Amino acid sequence: MSPGRDARPRRPALPGRPGRLGRLASVSDRDDLLQMIKDLAVVHGDFVLSSGQRATWYIDLRRILLSGQAAPLTGRVMLDLTAGLGYDAVGGLTLGADPVATAMMHAASAAGKPLDAFVVRKEGKAHGLQRRIEGPDVGGRRVLAVEDTSTTGASVLTAVDALREAGAEVVGVAVIVERGARGPVTARGLPYLAAYDMGDLGLG
């Protein structure tokens, strides 16, 4: 599933290519993060999701991703999950993707391997530089699109379209918790990786 090499100049060593980061996350990291999600991020009630669907529970991953204890775990788990994809920048549609990409960027840096992050706006700015994608330029680069959790794939695929329009090569999509987006994403020909699914959270 790992994409072939491209002919562009080599960038700093990053996950997924020979000589790059090995496993960053331990089995304990993955188990610890899963327990934190179960304990802190799963909320029961009556909710309307961004997709318009209703649910009797909600996964609020910002309670995890903005935690100083859990964010480093998240970064390591997601880097390990996506290590075979060979990318040098990570991000997605604001707001769900932002803390995921930031956690991965810092985890990679802690391992001595810089990884760029970027933010995809829901629409371009009408002032300033009028950029749709904030951060280092993504044109001509191999990038990973991420999201915290996804039910329909709409948000992350909006980011994929913006990235491709900007000239990036999207190597795949990764989420922390899969809620149903696998079909729509893989239908677009993209690898789709999830750290956990509903069964892992006891919600399947």
Give the three-state DSSP class for 184.
Answer: helix
Q: What is the pTM of this model?
A: 0.84
pLDDT of residue 125: 59
92-112 exposure pattern, b = at least 16 Cβ within 10 A, e = fewer: bbeebbbbbbbbbbbbbeebe
Percentage of the chain modeled with pLDDT above 90:
76
Which pair of structure tokens corresponds to residue 126? Answer: 């009408």
**Residue 2 is encoded by which pair of tokens?**
């790992």
Please name the fold of domain 27-197: Rossmann fold (3.40.50)
Q: Tell me which of 52 and 154 has the higher pLDDT.
A: 154
Answer with the residue of higher pLDDT: 124 or 74.
74
Residues in the chain: 204
- pLDDT digit string, tens, across residues 57-110: 999 999 999 999 999 999 999 999 999 999 999 999 999 999 999 999 999 999
Q: What confidence tens digit (pLDDT) does each residue in 28-43 have?
A: 999 999 999 999 999 9
Q: What pLDDT is recorded for position 27?
A: 80
Mean pLDDT of the residues in the chain: 87
Tell whether the model's pLDDT for residue 17 goes beyond 80.
Answer: no
* Cα-based distances in Å from 65 to 17, 32, 68, 84: 27, 14, 8, 23
